Amino acid sequence: MITKRIIPCLDVRDGRVVKGTKFTDIKDVDDPVVLADFYAKTGADELVFYDITASNENRDIFLDIVRRTADTVDIPFTIGGGIRSLEDFDRLMKAGADKVSVNSAAVKDPQLIREAALRYGSQCVVLSMDVKKNAFGRWDVYIQGGRDNTGLDAIAWAKQGVALGAGEIVLNCIDTDGVKNGYALDITREICDSVRVPVIASGGAGTMEHFYDVLTKANADAALSASVFHYKEIEIRDLKDYLKEKGVEVRC
């Protein structure tokens, strides 16, 4: 069995880690570098940072946080939010990010994925997808921090993104985000079955069983979560012990 990863997600606004429910009701959590250091020392395999208002506010991303994180932690981390150009990729990679996640800009200009993959390698390019089920039971892709429905079909967009060169997908379901009733197993499984790159499931973890379900029933390569880790409802080492007992291969 391929080793599964556990990844805390740090949503950043105005230099602070915050967390909401379904992209609303945003509450302050902690300093991003302090929290990143804590997770790196307590079993996280990787980290993902999202500047949750950079795209909507049309401003540059937080390079100072990237540099301080790179100087502090020894695990890979991904940066997303407000990425609009190859120059943004270049600044983030030089600041110490291991991977860069694109969402809104990639939808608006899909060739950004291809150009970034050619310059930096597919392993550095992550396609982040915010999705929501529509009235017909299919899943639409949203951009601008979950504010705008593009009308793109999630599975079709995932396939296109990978064909263009994305080396990984982060799939976040808006309906389950922060609700803690479990990941969206159906769309996660569909995306996993549709592409040949790792898929990171995001949005909905509330119990250890939810992690087990998405890593096994939906076959996600990694599970990303925020609230249960930020508020210490689940400790990462305890989660990994649980998963190992259930037969899931995880890193020590």
DSSP-derived secondary structure letter, 53: T
11 in catalytic set: yes
Phi-psi region of 190 (alpha: psi -120 to 50; beta: other; left: phi over 0): alpha
Is 130 assigned a catalytic role? yes
Determine whether 19 is exposed, middle or buried from the number of CB atoms within 10 Å of its CB (0-12, 13-18, 19+). Answer: buried
Q: Of 23, 29, 32, whose CA–CA distance to 55 is shortest?
A: 23
Which tokens sit at 122?
A: 């597919």
Between CA 139 and CA 123 the distance in angstroms is 26
* Catalytic annotation, pick one of 45, 51, 88, 130: 130
Tell me if 161 sits within 8 A of 196, measured CB to CB.
Answer: no
Residue-wise DSSP of 71-93? HH--S-EEEESS--SHHHHHHHH
Q: Which two tokens stand for residue 51?
A: 């500047």
| Active-site residue identified among 11, 51, 140, 177 | 11
The distance from CA 236 to its chain's CA centroid, rounded to whole angstroms, is 17
Going by the DSSP 8-state scheme, the letter that residue 250 receives in this structure is B
Look at residues 106, 104, 100, 105 and name the one whose alpha carbon lies nearest to residue 125: 100
- Which residues are tagged catalytic? 11, 130
